[in-house]
Amino acid sequence: MSQFSLPSAEPQIPASLPRHSLSIVVPMYNEAENVEPLLERIHLALEPYPWPWEVVLVDDGSTDATPSELARCATVRGPHVRIIQLRRNFKQTAAMQAGIDAARGSVIATLDGDLQNDPFDIPRMVGRLLDEDLDLVAGWRKDRQDNQLRKIPSRIANRLIARMTGVHLRDYGCSLKIFRANTLKSVRLYGEMHRFIPAWLATVTTPRRIAQEVVAHHPRIFGQSKYGISRTLRVVLDLIFVYFFMRYRTRPGHFFGGIGVVFGTLGILILAYLAGVKIFLGESIGARPLLFGGFFLVIAGVQMVTSGVLAELLTRVYYEFSGTHAYLAGEVPTPAKDECWHLPASGNEKGKP
């Protein structure tokens, strides 16, 4: 058994937890030394849990002994520990999506496999999610155990993301999050978008149903961090896409068309001015750079408006033929055949459906 030292604690299960089932999704890449300690910590935290739970461990194409350790520990722990083996390293977002797809619980918890997130925080966060009728409770590593080289860019990114998305969280990078499964499964994660999950959820639910909770954060004991300072640039690029998607997913024509109208208007004004100079003042305008600028702006405006029209057509095709909706509603009860109809007070049988 691997030797590790994390603060000892007693499981703290909320006194009243509404009926639910819980899936814990953990993507792992080259974390062989952390597999057994992580599962031990999860079981210590959830052994007295009053409702069904499972652990979904996703091996993201590890090149060390992680796959064999996962298989061994799953055999020892039992069938509630499920292993998903990806054929190669698809990166954390894809691994997390694979685990979410396989999760069977009505509540889904995600956390990293490096033992820096503490499973003992999960029951408390699940209790808040269900008691306050939220869609997401995100972890906030208030006392973060990382070096300044990682913390400073992270703080800048958190503030920038919050300002641009309107979802005001202090810690977007914390992987420990608790979701309602039906809400989480209504969005798909691609690229490296796992750090923007709260923003993605804001496209299908209101930010008022998203909260944050202070969680423990431990220094890494085994293995090496998979993150570097180079991810800062990728965060900025991803944020631009998230900003566009949140505001213009169902109306891309407004984005492209708006830019096209601005460009086209400026171009027309420039050409109108030059036409006036030519007609009324008799000056030559053929060699003026402003003439080329005006023509360029008009052409660019036409192209942007055309792109907006094409984007609108593609959006409609996507929603109509993929079966995807532009909204997410709560559970809608199905009434019996003769219920929920407003019938005439006279009892006229013709008024019945």
The per-residue pLDDT for range 192-234, each reduced to its tens digit, is 777 788 888 888 888 899 999 999 888 777 756 655 555 666 6
pLDDT in tens, 229-261: 556 666 677 777 777 777 777 788 888 889 999
Q: Is the pLDDT of residue 82 over 70?
A: yes
pTM: 0.73
At 343 the pLDDT is 54
At 351 the pLDDT is 46
State the average pLDDT over residues 35-47: 93
**Residue 119 backbone dihedrals phi, psi, to 5 degrees:** -60, -20
Please write down the HEC assignment for all residues of the chain.
Answer: CCCCCCCCCCCCCCCCCCCCCEEEEEEECCCHHHHHHHHHHHHHHHCCCCCCEEEEEEECCCCCCHHHHHHHHHHHHCCCEEEEECCCCCHHHHHHHHHHHHCCCCEEEECCCCCCECHHHHHHHHHHHHHCCCCEEEEECCCCCCCHHHHHHHHHHHHHHHHHHCCCCCCCCCCCEEEEHHHHCCCCCCCCHHHHHHHHHCCCCCHHHEEEEECCECCCCCCCCCCCCCHHHHHHHHHHHHHHHHHHCCCHHHHHHHHHHHHHHHHHHHHHHHHHHHHHHCCCCCCCHHHHHHHHHHHHHHHHHHHHHHHHHHHHHHHHHHCCCCCCCCCCCCCCCCCCCCCCCCCCHHHCC
Q: Is the pLDDT of residue 145 over 80?
A: no
Q: Is the pLDDT of residue 105 over 70?
A: yes
Q: Is the pLDDT of residue 165 over 90?
A: no
At 5 the pLDDT is 59
At 224 the pLDDT is 65
pLDDT in tens, 250-294: 788 888 889 999 999 999 999 999 999 888 888 888 888 899 999
